[in-house]
Chain A
């Protein structure tokens, strides 16, 4: 953030930058009014405009860090904080509210300890001074939650006493949690007036070991509690509902009554169908033509063609004058035999099953299909040969 804006002439300010600036000024004013913490408030305001074009120079003016040559903004910030902590501790607690994001994870704030961190800590140490340890906590709630934010924490904490970095981190961790709540409660008001000192974080390591001992005894209760938790109840409800819906869908696929025509039906005796004709009377009801022709392999056949175009499924019309089936959608044409010859249809019309039933009637079975290109038209079930 800071390194981005450190170079180059100041251009248009983004909303965030303007806000930060305004806040800084407001903080200055407030500081002016309350005479006592004035310098501290100035210091507190300084780290705020992290995204401002010239944040580098401002903290560099800090009395303590002035001697050391600043390397990065983060380091300067750390130094400034440490100095401030040394000089006027109570006021040093200004959090940087630039982005009221939810407070970072404590681990993120305290966990990273790069070389830069240690450097910053060392610097802070040099700066020395007895600052109230609480200075660490507001710093920990800096929304950025990046190493830049973490460094001041370490630095400030280090300024408190000569403890190792690890110890400091341990101290900061629970403190971060406390600060989180504080920051969440008053994120806007914080910068204007230096917030009251949060209580010193109680450095009481979590009783992790105890838990393991308790587990065996309370295991059953824990399981019960988990089952009763809203999370599990909600998911169980969702699963149950979805399951019922799925079952209902499955039931829907098996209707009580089928309104569609049966797939097997009688169409009258073969004598109803004269040679060289296409009967269109079954199209509307069953979607088939009954064709009686001797043009397919010179055999005298009656067969049933499904009235579905093999191109895209429209219903072709039988044109008596032109002796062809013609599809109105894309112009596919089929001979009386059902073989495609014009337009885009890639294959002949499909035959459905036909047979002479025991009572001398032709019976069509729409549940079976016979495709010419698969050689299925030779199947005896696909036609009825008239032997006159």
Chain B
């Protein structure tokens, strides 16, 4: 029996073309190495790799075009292992670890050879995974193709930044001028700039035309107020927000946190007192700002877009990339509010509540009594932590920035940290809301 009923000849041939393209890329790479007078051993390795890719492409395009006897599957054991890792905790932990590794090992992975190898590995992984039906369904969806492209683009620009920053940091450490200073040659607007702009314009138009012709628009049924597609996904750029909504009340995740993000980004120039890194790439001179920004951007924004696009399936359950999207997948998420933890599980009492005919004041007091732990926790987080941080880890910042700017910075950081904190609390303790006052539509 064919375990991959939908692996058509067309898919296999497309994979053949993909391998051929990869082969061409590596040929260019090898020629560049040859020009740069690389060692013979390296050239031999790269040439044989190119040959292997060419052979792989050939057999895809000719011999194994029939799905029945196609041998190049992603091994099932690896698929089950990867699917086994598919839960939000592991995803977030792995992305955080990768982020730390990216920072710590920046001098290693920005070497051109290493970066090229990583790119090759990513493309090969994609290609092998495409033999899986469920993976192809997710990645090949017209909605998601640009997101896959975006992942590669984000990877490229991150590499670009880090490689230049590493180079400049090395120069600065040696007391040499930065790359930007050394190569400070002025060019003319016409023709240098205008021509590049025109070429970019033409290339982009061509890409858009091809994209529009090749990928059909992902249109769906007419909208209906009583019918929600399952799963119902936001546009890709809002998937981070949608993931935030899983952990927060709509008012928080839909209004407060996005506003804080926007205002925070606008406030950056006023908060930043570090005058280094102006006009040149550097990491060592701007460690705090770069790490903070990249943490908010890569694991928290891009990471959540990946999670929302590829790992969230029907009923917003979590699925592995090779897992069948089963509408009836049972995932027990019995979420509990902090007040219930405190009163029912901790003190073994019912939740404090006022009688139905109590006065408004009594009811209010009952609600406040019920939620006092959560309220205290939130107030402590927002009011006690900033001075605490000012006295300890952010002492230098506080001295340099002054009270107002420091408080803005501290609050922005606390708000940013609130998202991963809430996510971890949800996963670890099934905690739904720290403060849950549905009577007032106030949940945190």
What residues of chain A have their CB less than 8 Å away from a CB belonging to chain B?
A: 283-285, 287, 307, 311-312, 314-317, 319, 321-322, 326-331, 333, 341-344, 346-347, 373-375, 378
Q: For chain B residues 220-260, which have a beta carbon within 8 Å of chain A?
A: 224-232, 242, 245-250, 254
Contacts of B330 in A (CB 8 A): 322
| B224 to chain A: closest residue by CB | A284
A-B contact pairs, 7 of them (CB 8 A): A315-B227, A316-B228, A319-B315, A321-B328, A331-B315, A343-B335, A373-B438
Q: Verify if B436 is at the interface (C-beta below 8 Å from A).
A: yes
Contacts of A329 in B (CB 8 A): 228, 231-232, 242, 245, 316
What residues of chain B have their CB less than 8 Å away from a CB belonging to chain A?
A: 224-232, 242, 245-250, 254, 314-317, 327-328, 330, 332-335, 356, 432-433, 436, 438-439, 441, 443
| A322 to chain B: closest residue by CB | B330
* Distance of A333 Cα from B314 Cα, bound (Å): 13
Known: A342-B334, A344-B249, A346-B436. A328 touches B230 (CB 8 A): yes
| A288 to chain B: closest residue by CB | B226
Contacts of B327 in A (CB 8 A): 319
Contacts of B228 in A (CB 8 A): 314-317, 327-329
Known: A328-B231, A329-B232. A312 touches B246 (CB 8 A): no
Contacts of B246 in A (CB 8 A): 330-331, 343-344
Choose among B229, B332, B356, B436 the residue that contacts A328 (Cβ–Cβ < 8 A).
Answer: B229
Q: Is the interface of A mostly helix, strand, loop or mixed?
A: loop
Contacts of B229 in A (CB 8 A): 328
Please determine whether A312 and B230 come into contact, CB atoms closer than 8 angstroms. no
* Distance of A283 Cα from B226 Cα, bound (Å): 7
Choose among A330, A374, A378 the residue that contacts B316 (Cβ–Cβ < 8 A).
Answer: A330
Choose among A317, A330, A346 the residue that contacts B438 (Cβ–Cβ < 8 A).
Answer: A346
Nearest chain B CB to A334's CB is how many angstroms away? 12
Choose among A284, A312, A315, A342 the residue that contacts B245 (Cβ–Cβ < 8 A).
Answer: A312
| A347 to chain B: closest residue by CB | B438
Choose among A321, A341, A344 the residue that contacts B247 (Cβ–Cβ < 8 A).
Answer: A344
Contacts of B230 in A (CB 8 A): 317, 328
* Distance of A287 Cα from B328 Cα, bound (Å): 22
Given contacts A329-B231, A342-B334, A344-B245, 11 further A-B contacts (CB under 8 A): A285-B226, A287-B226, A307-B226, A312-B254, A315-B226, A328-B230, A328-B232, A329-B228, A330-B316, A344-B246, A346-B436
* Distance of A314 Cα from B234 Cα, bound (Å): 12
Contacts of A344 in B (CB 8 A): 245-250, 432
Contacts of B248 in A (CB 8 A): 344
* Distance of A84 Cα from B328 Cα, bound (Å): 98
Nearest chain A CB to B143's CB is how many angstroms away? 16
* Distance of A48 Cα from B122 Cα, bound (Å): 67
Please determine whether B250 and A331 come into contact, CB atoms closer than 8 angstroms. no
Contacts of A321 in B (CB 8 A): 328
Nearest chain A CB to B221's CB is how many angstroms away? 12
| A373 to chain B: closest residue by CB | B438
Contacts of A373 in B (CB 8 A): 438-439
Nearest chain B CB to A75's CB is how many angstroms away? 41
Contacts of A327 in B (CB 8 A): 228, 315-316
Across the A-B interface, the 5 shortest Cβ-Cβ residue pairs: A331-B316, A342-B333, A328-B230, A347-B438, A315-B228
Nearest chain B CB to A112's CB is how many angstroms away? 37
Nearest chain B CB to A261's CB is how many angstroms away? 10
Contacts of B433 in A (CB 8 A): 346
* Distance of A343 Cα from B337 Cα, bound (Å): 11
Please determine whether B245 and A341 come into contact, CB atoms closer than 8 angstroms. no
Choose among B232, B333, B356, B432 the residue that contacts A378 (Cβ–Cβ < 8 A).
Answer: B356
